[in-house]
Amino acid sequence: MTVFTPVSLIASFREEPSLRRPGIALVGLLTMILIGERLLTMAVDGVRQGSSGFPVWLPELGSIGETIVFYSMLFDVLKFIAIPAVLMWFAYQYGRYSAST
């Protein structure tokens, strides 16, 4: 029986390339969500206070309200569907690695 510890996980990243893809995907998703939600919050606060218009770098879909709802729902899908799916992928790959060693 293999005991899971963070040190064994780091060592398995070095030994097994199939664990790197889900790990990189997870880090990418988390980074995208954290930065994206922060940028969306800053954009919405600027529009709500009337100090600025909607940012040019953020594609607008219909009205500003529809755009905010779309991006909020996109980040919710990433948080509640994509991250659990990547975690399952990571757990599956780690299980296969642990079973073979």
8 pLDDT exceeds 60?
A: yes
* pTM of the predicted structure, to 2 decimals: 0.76
Q: What pLDDT, in 10s, does the model give residues 34-47?
A: 999 998 888 888 77
pLDDT digits (tens, 9 = 90+) for 57-76: 778 888 888 888 999 999 99
**What string of DSSP letters covers 5-53?**
-HHHHHHHHHH-GGGHHHHHHHHHHHHHHHHHHHHHHHHHHHHHTTSS-
Q: What is the pLDDT of residues 71-100, one digit of tens each?
A: 999 999 999 999 999 999 999 998 888 888
